A and B are shown apart, each in its own frame.
Chain A
Amino acid sequence: MAVTWSGRWNHVRKVTERTGPFAHPDFEPSTETLQFLQEVCHILVIGAGGLGCELLKDLALLGIRNIDVIDMDTIDVSNLNRQFLFRPKDVGKTKAETAANFINLRIPGCNVTAHFAKIQDFDASFYRKFHIIVCGLDSIIARRWINGMLISMLSYEDGELDQSSIIPMVDGGTEGFKGNARVILPGMTACVDCTLDLYPPQVNFPLCTIAHTPRLPEHCIEYVRILLWPKEEPFGAGVAIDGDDPAHVSWILEKSQERANEYNISGITYRLTQGVVKRIIPAVASTNAVIAAACATEVFKLATSCCQPLNNYMNFTDIEGVYTYTFEAEKKDDCVACSQKPQNISFCESDKLQDILTYLLESTTYQMKSPSITTAINGKNRTLYMQSVKSIEEKTRANLKKSLAELELCSGQELYVADPTTPSSLTFILQMGTKME
């Protein structure tokens, strides 16, 4: 049942059915564009938190109907001030399902599918379904994972990137009053790992300050978290701190208070303790709204081709007034994630690992010095051979005499080769059957 009414999509049609001074030169106004957005275009939103709620609302109101959302979290009472798809009765429910239900009820015709899961629970066959992926994440590890996934899905023909294998990634991030939005065309423009240095480092206090010369309440809390917890193991051996467990936070609070008293430091509170333990930076609803809007606009531009996408990294801060700056983050030549075009190498099943090693050492193309070869089989990393580290060399030497079949290497298997002659690891795709000329 697609409820609609006259003029419902006028705001979108003004852009998709007319041209304009900022339109992309190849843009052809058409009624089909709206139809594409509504019926064909399939968007994945990763994260249904502060940015995710905004993104789902923005995308749905732009006419996109086929949306999937992934989130591994449940709703906490502290989310309610800004994650506006959630109500007090929803506390404890899953973010993905609650957000999807809200949008589907509120925006007629919209079809959001929820996944209460981790992004790592899905493989390439899932991610390949989407035209564009938009992220509202709070974790660098998750960003790098999805970035790596999209890069691994690229295909090359004769060394040329097959553009139809590209799934654009729009990534938003906020931290208090600061935020950024960026567009990544995997394999073509700077990726998450190209700009890894741009992420602000985690604030870490010197260990000796924490241990002996605390001056701030945070130093006292860090003392308990880093030094006292592993020593006293108050909740049993090997139990890690859970910042959402009130018993854990209360224990840390009490011990931090004792230490603060010893050094005449004031200002320890439950809130601060939990904030330090969970590394909470207070979220600002307006920053999320701006960044999500920028990301949704980019999704719209990419999906309709009505305008050149952001090139390619926008910073935003509203600490004092409003400031934004856009620049072109550069693709790194030696990026571990995206600089590699996987190269095909052909061997037979009966060939030995030694044959691959000899090839890397002696072929005129590579002339490597001491290559190490690793692979991943069923998601588990395996070191096939590494010469330069004695303890690994001894344990992997036997592999050299094994055939590729014995090593369970099949056609299409990726091999990762690090060598001092190359700035980053090389990726090879093993082609079985025909012997290399």
Chain B
Amino acid sequence: MIKLFSLKQQKKDGESAPERGKKSSAAQLRIQKDINELNLPKTCDVNFPDPDDLLSFKLIISPDEGFYRGGRFVFSFKVGQGYPHDPPKVKCETMVYHPNIDLEGNVCLNILREDWKPVLTINSIVYGLQYLFLEPNPEDPLNREAAEVLQSNRRLFEQNVSKSMRGGHIGSVYFERCLK
């Protein structure tokens, strides 16, 4: 039991212990741990434009198999002070023809929204995103046109993906080249 009677002493303004540099936030300490222990698959790389800011960085995925082999896709991560209670905000910066990523870069991945839990880490999201490129899921589409093509005609979908990655039009939408 804490000796609370010591409370009865008058507190004095700003006395005692010398001021240490203001402590890092819990979110900051947790992200440092997450980043230090990133265990990236060989198809992924991270880039920190400002090494002092561990809360914002890019993830680059270069799939080596599946529909998206040879492509290079950049995601931006923004981690807030609510981390890990709140998930990071992740956007795809590369225009991609993909059933689960729309043309504004929104990503439909369950652990980024409804299934996020504080035990998950940045690494979990990296694996989740990498999986999206190996197994695009037409059941939960964000880009419905792409999802319909994937469901009805896998060959055509494969061709569309290749064409978009080389740089070209799919329907009326122009995709910038994103081959490695």
Contacts and interface: CB of A to CB of B under 8 A. Distances in A.
Interface of A: 24, 26, 32, 36, 40-42, 123-126, 128-132, 140-141, 144-145, 147-149, 151-153, 155, 163-166, 168, 185, 188, 193, 196-197, 199, 201-202, 204-208, 211-212, 226-227, 230-231, 302-303, 305, 308, 336-337, 370-372, 374-383, 386, 388-392, 395-396, 412-414, 416, 418-420, 424-425, 427, 429
B142 A337 contact: no
Given A205-B113, A381-B52, A416-B24, A308 B1 contact: yes
A308 B84 CA distance: 33
B108 A305 contact: no
A125 B14 contact: yes
B54 A201 contact: no
B3 interface: yes
Interface string B16-45: 111111111111111011011110000001
B32 A418 contact: yes
A380 B21 CA distance: 10
A129 B11 contact: yes
A381 B53 contact: yes
B159 to A, nearest CB: 24
A374 B106 contact: no
Contact of B19 (A124, A302, A388, A418): A124
Contact of B110 (A202, A206, A371): A206
Given A148-B26, A188-B2, A371-B36, 16 more contacts: A26-B5, A164-B6, A212-B142, A231-B104, A305-B7, A336-B33, A378-B21, A383-B51, A383-B54, A386-B51, A389-B46, A391-B46, A391-B48, A416-B32, A425-B30, A425-B32
Interface residues of B, number: 68
A386 B3 CA distance: 42
Contacts of B46: 389, 391
Nearest to B116: A201
B36 A372 contact: yes
Q: Which 8 A-B pairs have the closest CB atoms?
A: A125-B14, A152-B23, A208-B140, A418-B36, A204-B113, A207-B108, A372-B36, A395-B51
A164 B112 CA distance: 43
A248 B1 CA distance: 53
A414 B24 contact: yes
B117 A40 contact: no
A329 to B, nearest CB: 15
Given A36-B8, A164-B6, A206-B114, A129 B54 contact: no
A196 B45 CA distance: 30
A224 to B, nearest CB: 14
Contact of B33 (A26, A145, A389, A424): A424
18 contacts: A26-B5, A32-B8, A129-B11, A129-B13, A148-B23, A153-B17, A168-B4, A201-B117, A206-B108, A208-B108, A372-B36, A374-B32, A386-B36, A388-B38, A389-B46, A396-B51, A413-B20, A416-B32
Given A125-B14, A374-B54, A414 B21 contact: yes
B121 interface: no
A302 B3 CA distance: 10
A144 B17 contact: no
Most chain A Cβ neighbours within 10 Å, of B11, B24, B37, B86:
B24
